[in-house]
A and B are shown apart, each in its own frame.
Chain A
């Protein structure tokens, strides 16, 4: 198909509509036995007109998904240790470290060092575990929000919430990001290793369990609050800010 050369420059030119030629129809046009009237055509998605295009789409997907299954190449670097206080995991690939950082240090509660997979779950945790106002309000109204994104429901107790999630959202009864609050108080300064108290390493079946009774093997004496200077772009630890400091000066 030979296109006029001016067409290319027209495409690159300014927007503009042609002045339409005058329309003047004769009533005999398209009159019986003739049928033609100009009309827009709509095709439903399963129409055979779309067969070729759908086949091409599928071929593209086949190629794409074959590549997805291939083991990705990693950017290998000399071994290094995670610099977050208390974490001693070692990495030799940047992607692995990035994943580790996001999962284990990204959304971490500065008060009890638990790590969460998302900011949303961290927010809920801080509210339900560390906010005394929440506890007060919860006695009078439904405060436990459903954990499923987009669901607006709230409940009186965490058990009610769990029932809702199991029944309506078909979540597992032992969903590990919905553990009831333990009796353990707020984080103590000389507390245990964050890895031991972060997402519990699941050597056993996923039980809803409280923290291990035995003290973890190594104790540290420095704070496990992630320094604000350490920031990997997203999600340094956040905590429920105390209001005490503001009242210091009279």
Chain B
């Protein structure tokens, strides 16, 4: 959808600076919303259209009489074209919040609209679906909830074949999903998850992207980790829906009935991973949506063992390599950036679920190309999206913590210096870089020797000048390990006024003991 519609982006009347300013405002609003845990909200999903956009898509305020008239014309008009035009006019009106209110207050209006949605006149169906879509967007609960009578049909149509219509139904459902838990409490028993799963075999990219979006909204909802992911879908899902008295039915069936078997047992998971496989068929817009879905599933920790057995790690690792290759080649890589964030998170969190004994079996996680790819991506983000650096470094930590193989790769591929270049960027990044360095150094003298001589010591002396306790603390940890395995480093430390650097922080309670210990080691060896 991204590539298809990019060409249609209307040029706004405002200039570049104004655009940047608006983007900063939007970011600030989103940041605030996230801190208040309100990020998944309708209000923030669609940016208010700027007034100067004008033209055809301007929202028109319609009065009750006009709404009634358009509905009547659409429903009973004799001329096909007139009926269609009436619906188009209604749709334009429904972009206006007041018209929406008028519409829902009108008796029988939704009934008529649903009737048109389920009629056999294709164009009327499409326009009725668009009207519903407009209504589903509304921030006002009453308006969005007025769409509920249509949901059983929207879900039914997901099993059809008309891709444009399905796409529209999916985005409408996506909006309704976000509306409230109450709405989801209707959509879930109506079978939204199986209906979504049915769509995943569609060959149409636009449908898949819309599906991924709707699903990601469902998985991101507040109750998803406790309720939707564990108890949903397949047999387990309907178990949860049934009344207690129906339990006897479940006992007599051969299907597995354990909770946690549902969403993740279904073919959905395998399809999701399939859609994220790198290769000529990979569609970035689609992969982005499913990567986010995967992220929410992994975070819920419902059944990560199953994800691992389905080969999620190799898929993600290969995707990482693929993205790095693409980052090298392309200038414009908006979608690569969008994909990188959820992929980092999925890989990184999933790594924490691999039992220690099994780590060695994951060939992809020892392949040195993975660190090569990660660094290429980090450099890419440095230019395009510095906010992603910390997540990339977090992944690097998880990759290297228990992996002598990858620590060795970092050394043999000469990646220490580039890593050190990231130190000054921010406190968070400093701590992460220092942690990765600790991962390497703690593995013993063979590793430290490869770092000596080198820029490491002077970088550490620089970090000691900072005031952030965490940064300094991590530097102290690194120094201790370095002194232990590479005694010459202690010598050089003394010569380069290391003790004075330490003294700055002597009074700090959290650092005092370690500073004392280091001073001792440096002086006495």
Chain A residues close to B by CB (< 8 Å):
1-4, 6-8, 10-13, 15-26, 28-30, 33-46, 48-73, 89-90, 95-100, 102-104, 106-107, 115, 117-121, 148-153, 168-172, 175-177, 195, 198-203, 205-206, 234-235
Quick check: is B489 within 8 A (CB to CB) of the other chain?
no
User: A170 to B388, Cβ gap below 8 A?
Assistant: no
Quick check: is B494 within 8 A (CB to CB) of the other chain?
no
Name, among B57, B120, B165, B238, the residue most crowded by chain A CB atoms within 10 Å (CB to CB).
B120
Could you tell me the distance between the alpha carbons of A186 and B186 in the complex, rounded to whole angstroms? 37
Could you tell me the distance between the alpha carbons of A115 and B121 in the complex, rounded to whole angstroms? 12
User: Known: A8-B376, A43-B349. Contact between A23 and B5, CB under 8 A?
Assistant: no
- Nearest chain A residue, comparing its CB with the CB of B418: A1
Expressed in whole angstroms, the minimum distance between the Cβ of B363 and any Cβ of chain A is 7
Chain B 383-414, CB within 8 Å of chain A: the 1/0 string?
00101101100100110111011111101111
Please indicate the chain A residues that have their CB under 8 angstroms from the CB of B288 in the complex.
Answer: 60
Please indicate the chain A residues that have their CB under 8 angstroms from the CB of B171 in the complex.
Answer: 65, 68
Could you tell me the distance between the alpha carbons of A74 and B192 in the complex, rounded to whole angstroms? 30
User: B111 to A206, Cβ gap below 8 A?
Assistant: yes
Please indicate the chain B residues that have their CB under 8 angstroms from the CB of A171 in the complex.
Answer: 152, 190
User: B122 to A103, Cβ gap below 8 A?
Assistant: yes
The stretch from B31-39, B275-283, B453-461 touching chain A is B31-39
Quick check: is B191 within 8 A (CB to CB) of the other chain?
yes
Please indicate the chain A residues that have their CB under 8 angstroms from the CB of B1 in the complex.
Answer: 64, 67-68
User: A57 to B341, Cβ gap below 8 A?
Assistant: yes
Could you tell me the distance between the alpha carbons of A43 and B390 in the complex, rounded to whole angstroms? 13
- Nearest chain B residue, comparing its CB with the CB of A98: B162
Expressed in whole angstroms, the minimum distance between the Cβ of A11 and any Cβ of chain B is 5
User: Known: A55-B31, A69-B46, A117-B159. Contact between A60 and B352, CB under 8 A?
Assistant: no
- Nearest chain A residue, comparing its CB with the CB of B353: A42
Could you tell me the distance between the alpha carbons of A15 and B413 in the complex, rounded to whole angstroms? 14
Could you tell me the distance between the alpha carbons of A118 and B194 in the complex, rounded to whole angstroms? 14
User: A8 to B421, Cβ gap below 8 A?
Assistant: no
Expressed in whole angstroms, the minimum distance between the Cβ of B426 and any Cβ of chain A is 11
Please indicate the chain A residues that have their CB under 8 angstroms from the CB of B368 in the complex.
Answer: 10, 16-18
Could you tell me the distance between the alpha carbons of A33 and B476 in the complex, rounded to whole angstroms? 11
Quick check: is B366 within 8 A (CB to CB) of the other chain?
yes
User: B480 to A29, Cβ gap below 8 A?
Assistant: yes
User: A21 to B387, Cβ gap below 8 A?
Assistant: no
User: B405 to A17, Cβ gap below 8 A?
Assistant: yes
User: Known: A17-B405, A152-B253. Contact between A202 and B118, CB under 8 A?
Assistant: yes
Expressed in whole angstroms, the minimum distance between the Cβ of A7 and any Cβ of chain B is 5
Chain B 446-479, CB within 8 Å of chain A: the 1/0 string?
1100100000000000000000000000101100
A-B contact pairs, 17 of them (CB 8 A): A1-B379, A12-B325, A17-B367, A28-B484, A29-B485, A38-B438, A43-B349, A51-B35, A57-B342, A66-B49, A71-B56, A118-B160, A150-B238, A152-B235, A169-B189, A176-B118, A205-B111
Expressed in whole angstroms, the minimum distance between the Cβ of A174 and any Cβ of chain B is 10
Q: Is the interface of B mostly helix, strand, loop or mixed?
A: helix
Quick check: is B513 within 8 A (CB to CB) of the other chain?
yes
Expressed in whole angstroms, the minimum distance between the Cβ of A92 and any Cβ of chain B is 10
User: B34 to A55, Cβ gap below 8 A?
Assistant: yes
User: Known: A3-B418, A40-B352, A103-B120. Contact between A58 and B190, CB under 8 A?
Assistant: no
Question: Of A25, A51, A90, A115, which is within 8 A of B31 by CB?
Answer: A51
User: B439 to A38, Cβ gap below 8 A?
Assistant: yes
User: Known: A120-B159, A152-B238. Contact between A36 and B442, CB under 8 A?
Assistant: yes
- Nearest chain B residue, comparing its CB with the CB of A234: B161
Quick check: is B514 within 8 A (CB to CB) of the other chain?
yes
Please indicate the chain B residues that have their CB under 8 angstroms from the CB of A89 in the complex.
Answer: 80, 121-122
- Nearest chain A residue, comparing its CB with the CB of B379: A1
Quick check: is B134 within 8 A (CB to CB) of the other chain?
yes
Please indicate the chain B residues that have their CB under 8 angstroms from the CB of A49 in the complex.
Answer: 390-391, 394
- Nearest chain B residue, comparing its CB with the CB of A9: B372
Please indicate the chain B residues that have their CB under 8 angstroms from the CB of A176 in the complex.
Answer: 118, 153
User: B160 to A26, Cβ gap below 8 A?
Assistant: no
Please indicate the chain B residues that have their CB under 8 angstroms from the CB of A50 in the complex.
Answer: 345, 391
Question: Of A18, A121, A170, which is within 8 A of B412 by CB?
Answer: A18
User: A98 to B119, Cβ gap below 8 A?
Assistant: no
User: A20 to B198, Cβ gap below 8 A?
Assistant: no
Quick check: is B234 within 8 A (CB to CB) of the other chain?
yes
Quick check: is B44 within 8 A (CB to CB) of the other chain?
yes
User: A55 to B477, Cβ gap below 8 A?
Assistant: no
User: B418 to A170, Cβ gap below 8 A?
Assistant: no
User: B159 to A149, Cβ gap below 8 A?
Assistant: yes
**Would you list the 3 A-B pairs with minimal beta carbon distance, nearest first?**
A150-B194, A100-B122, A118-B159
Question: Of B115, B398, B406, which is within 8 A of A205 by CB?
Answer: B115
Expressed in whole angstroms, the minimum distance between the Cβ of B378 and any Cβ of chain A is 7
Name, among A51, A55, A201, A235, the residue most crowded by chain B CB atoms within 10 Å (CB to CB).
A55
Please indicate the chain B residues that have their CB under 8 angstroms from the CB of A61 in the complex.
Answer: 45, 213
Quick check: is B82 within 8 A (CB to CB) of the other chain?
no
CB interface residues, B 294-346, toward A, < 8 Å: 295-296, 299, 321, 324-325, 328, 337-338, 341-342, 345
Expressed in whole angstroms, the minimum distance between the Cβ of A249 and any Cβ of chain B is 38
Please indicate the chain B residues that have their CB under 8 angstroms from the CB of A67 in the complex.
Answer: 1, 5, 8-9
Chain B 7-47, CB within 8 Å of chain A: the 1/0 string?
01110000000000001001100110011010100001111
User: B27 to A55, Cβ gap below 8 A?
Assistant: yes
